[in-house]
Structure 1
Amino acid sequence: MKTLRIYLAALLALTAGACGRTVSDAETQRNIVYGIDADAYRLETGEIGKGETLSKILNNYGITVRQIDRLDRSAKEIFPLRNIRAGHRYTVFIHEDSLYAPHLDYLVYETDRTNYVVFGFHDGDSVSIRKDTKSTTLRRTQRSAVISSSLWGSIMEQNLPYSLAAEMENIYQWTVDFFGIQKGDSFTVIYDERFIDDTVSAGVDRIWGAKFTQGGKEYYAIPFRQGGKIQYWELDGTSLRKQLLKAPLKYTRISSKFSYARKHPVYKVYRPHTGVDYAAPKGTPVHAVADGVVTFKGWGGGGGNTLKIKHAGNLVTGYLHLSGYAKGISQGKRVSQGQLIGYVGSTGTSTGPHLDYRIWRNGTPIDPLKIPQKPAEPIAKKNRAAFEFVRDRILAELNGELPEEERITQLDSIVIPAPVLPAQPAGAAAEPKK
């Protein structure tokens, strides 16, 4: 167990209250930490060590075997003790009796940055378990950046939340070629960032709109709820979702493109290479680019461990040189778009870890980088007016032209305001009915 240290005063405000609850002045003065009056305790914090159990930690603080057993049984339905993980922080609340003997009343275990579990130890060997969430606030932000190397690089250079890059890649994964980003491409994005105590970022909560410019072409992302879930759309109501993902993996580079006369890196002769090679570290996750059925799983000769998946429109995709397959993947198995199917490797005839990704239509190989994309279902006619209302305000906000009070803040029920009619001059007579 790591050396314990006394909590800094700043943490008192950091963990005050439960999510969404306003912390009163009285509570602030009482130093409420994890919903507990910290003024009555001495606080110590530590980190779960590798191989360390909660039982061992509690035993070190004088909690009896009987209480630990009772806690284990009581916690099964709320937060099983076996779910404790190394590297997570915990805090203990200790009071001293009249003889200055220390007693542990609470241990708080942080399940992640914002959520925690409170284990309580009370008189008569009784125990309690409570799950809760730290108080957080949302801050809406608009930022723009010109890309010098990559999306991730620009996010870091602009000191933006790292999770923003992942969110944008998820939104544009059918539309923007992140392997073809060039210097001078740019983006503008509006997002909610969640903060603990208004200072510690807990990541991006939602993207409210974006414009990505690649090679002079603009790609918009407008959020709108249709079919029971929020999706992202182009300005004309076309879905950003397409039949195929742009690529079956992320955070890599293209090392070789589709060609009928490529010099083979091993055999040193020119031969067709009817696929795209994505150089990536061994173990990088590989995802299905579309819904389909696995038609082949096995050794593909020079292709090493290979998967082939059949999709609608007489398309078949191939994933070669895999180091292994995802759990549950087998011939005849139906997979969905974005599902994990395997991991990058260097099996077969290969000079290093990479994914050889291929597409066939009616048995004929086609260039994966040039395949035409069919969008998913567009905005329904009955939703068109509501979508255009949302779109126009998001677009104005992206352009910096929307007053704060007119921002779109929810997408569950869009109420379109009635048009404002011009006022008639005083004393004007009403037009007679015809």
Structure 2
Amino acid sequence: MTSLTKGNIREKEKIKRLYGIALGLLIIVHITSCSSKHKEGHPDSVEQIETFHMHEYGICIDSLNVNRYKIKKGDCLASILTGLGFTSTTSDKISQTVSPYYSPSKLQIGNTYAAITTQDSTSNIEYLVFEKSKTEYVVVDLSSENIKAYEGEKPITLQRKYIEGTITSSLWNAIIDAGVHPLLALKLSDLYAWQIDFFDIKKGDSFRLMYDEAYIDDTTFVDIASIEGAVFTHQGKAYCAIPFKQDSVREYFDEEGNSLRKEFLKSPLDFFRITSRFTNSRYHPILKRYRAHHGVDYAAPVGTPVKTIGDGVVIEKGYQQNGGGNYLKVKHNSMYTTTYMHLSRFAKGINKGSFVKQGDIIAYVGSTGLSTGPHLDFRVYKNNQPINPLTMESPPSLPVKPELKDSFLVVRDKVLRQLDSFQQSTRLYASMPDSLTQEDL
């Protein structure tokens, strides 16, 4: 008999024991219930009636009706309130009351709003609720003469999940094939962005991880709350991700306690003055019109050294005809790239394909292209989308502190044990015959 068959037998015996325990508990509950019924006629017995109330948005709705609507294209707060039957005077009061909590300009198509009314023939609106997101909402209390507004949040519950898989084409497809929300693929690639180039993962690479999903009322999925531990095997090497908090910051570390992330330099220049910031609408001094400026301009003298903010590979070098002048683009990992524009010249040895280390001088400030003076136009892209270099997250790359190392090792061992336990349970379940029925228990 193989160990696999023995495992199946042990698993079935375990299920039988659990089934017997559950049956015994049911019998006890039944006996207790019957005993209580016999005591109902006893003069010393006290009848206790437990009252349950229905709540929604933190409001008791026992005697109210909840009417839900969706914000449609062309809707604004004024039209919504008019459609609900409010006068212009009352609409103005509601708008003024709700604005500090939820600006009327931020109403989004598809979001829900609700009118909570009395159940009598008048159907007076007692409360208005505007959902800002899946979990956040604003309540407008109309039940008294003084209109009030306040914010609320739906309670969230977390459910621990486990997944493992082997990649045949891409991480995204492997996650989808496993029936998991695709957001998990993005979070996992973000987690390992410094260790693994997910555009170069190989067939046969594998992963296993446990994570928490956030739900409303235990049924409505909200988000992938967090990854609670992972092992990604890439080209035969296992990369562990252990969550651990130090200095009030929760980060991920490898088995030895080294941070999985590397820190970016705060700026590509040592001496500078910011003359233009990241914005979706900036007046261009040469083109004489407004357009997006998805970067930061650093004014500095011609010839000021420009440094790369992190390790990477130069993937573009040349002259931009659309106004950027001499420019370089550096790919740091599968997620981040940076662009340096209006350069006067490039550093010696910097070519397409060159590997650069954090702090290396890659070029010099200039005024090439559409420029009114010497400066560096610096841009950062995350997943090919521009982000603000001044506010982007740049987590510490420090390892676990020596005084916290013992605590980290305890957490590491616990996480790895849980992953192993999940893996064993998953494989045992997968090996159980499909024909296993209640009679087998």
Please indicate, yes or no, whether the TM-score normalized by the shorter chain is above 0.5. Answer: yes
Match of 1:50 in 2: 73
Q: Of 45, 48, 64, which residue of structure 2 is paired with 1:41?
A: 64
Higher Cα Rg, which structure: 2
Normalized per residue, the structure richer in helix is: 2
Q: How well do the aligned residues superpose, as a CA RMSD in angstroms?
A: 3.9
Paired amino acid for 1:382: E
Match of 1:79 in 2: 102
Matches of 1:135 and 1:26 in 2, distance apart?
23
Alpha-carbon spacing, 1:334–1:378, altered in 2? closer, same or farther (3 Å) = farther
Match of 1:177 in 2: 197
> Are 1:65 and 2:91 counterparts?
no
Which consecutive residues of structure 1, in runs of 5 or more, have no partner in the other structure? 1-24, 246-272, 278-285, 301-309, 318-329, 344-374, 404-434
Alpha-carbon spacing, 1:50–1:340, altered in 2? closer, same or farther (3 Å) = same
Paired amino acid for 1:313: G
Match of 2:156 in 1: 136
Alpha-carbon spacing, 1:93–1:296, altered in 2? closer, same or farther (3 Å) = same
Moved more, 106-115 or 72-81: 72-81
Match of 1:430 in 2: none
Match of 1:166 in 2: 186
> Are 1:119 and 2:164 counterparts?
no
| 1:12-54 Cα deviation digits (max 9, x unpaired) | xxxxxxxxxxxxx968x43212122333223221110112112
State the Cα distance separating 1:85 from its structure 2 match.
Answer: 1.5
Matching of residues 108-257 of structure 1 within 5 Å: 108-124=129-145, 126-242=146-262
Contact 1:43 1:94 in 2 (8 A): yes
State the Cα distance separating 1:121 from its structure 2 match.
Answer: 1.7
Matches of 2:50 and 2:187 in 1, distance apart?
39
Alpha-carbon spacing, 1:62–1:292, altered in 2? closer, same or farther (3 Å) = closer
Alpha-carbon spacing, 1:274–1:62, altered in 2? closer, same or farther (3 Å) = closer
Matches of 1:293 and 1:166 in 2, distance apart?
20
Match of 1:259 in 2: none
| 1:241-300 Cα deviation digits (max 9, x unpaired) | 13679xxxxxxxxxxxxxxxxxxxxxxxxxxx97379xxxxxxxx998499997524899
| 1:63-114 Cα deviation digits (max 9, x unpaired) | 22222212222223322232222211112112255xx233222221111112
Matches of 1:66 and 1:59 in 2, distance apart?
11
Alpha-carbon spacing, 1:187–1:80, altered in 2? closer, same or farther (3 Å) = same
Secondary structure at the counterpart of residue 400 of structure 1: helix
| 1:145-175 Cα deviation digits (max 9, x unpaired) | 1122211111111111222112111111111
Matches of 1:169 and 1:162 in 2, distance apart?
11
Matches of 1:401 and 1:46 in 2, distance apart?
42
Report sequence identity in percent: 29
Contact 1:93 1:106 in 2 (8 A): yes
State the Cα distance separating 1:232 from its structure 2 match.
Answer: 0.9
Match of 1:323 in 2: none
> Are 1:395 and 2:413 counterparts?
no
Which consecutive residues of structure 2, in runs of 5 or more, have no partner in the other structure? 1-48, 266-312, 318-328, 346-355, 364-373, 388-395, 425-441
Matches of 1:400 and 1:339 in 2, distance apart?
34
TM-score w.r.t. the length of structure 2 is 0.57
Q: Of 359, 369, 389, which residue of structure 2 is paired with 1:313?
A: 359
Match of 1:384 in 2: 405
Paired amino acid for 2:315: G
Matches of 1:298 and 1:46 in 2, distance apart?
54
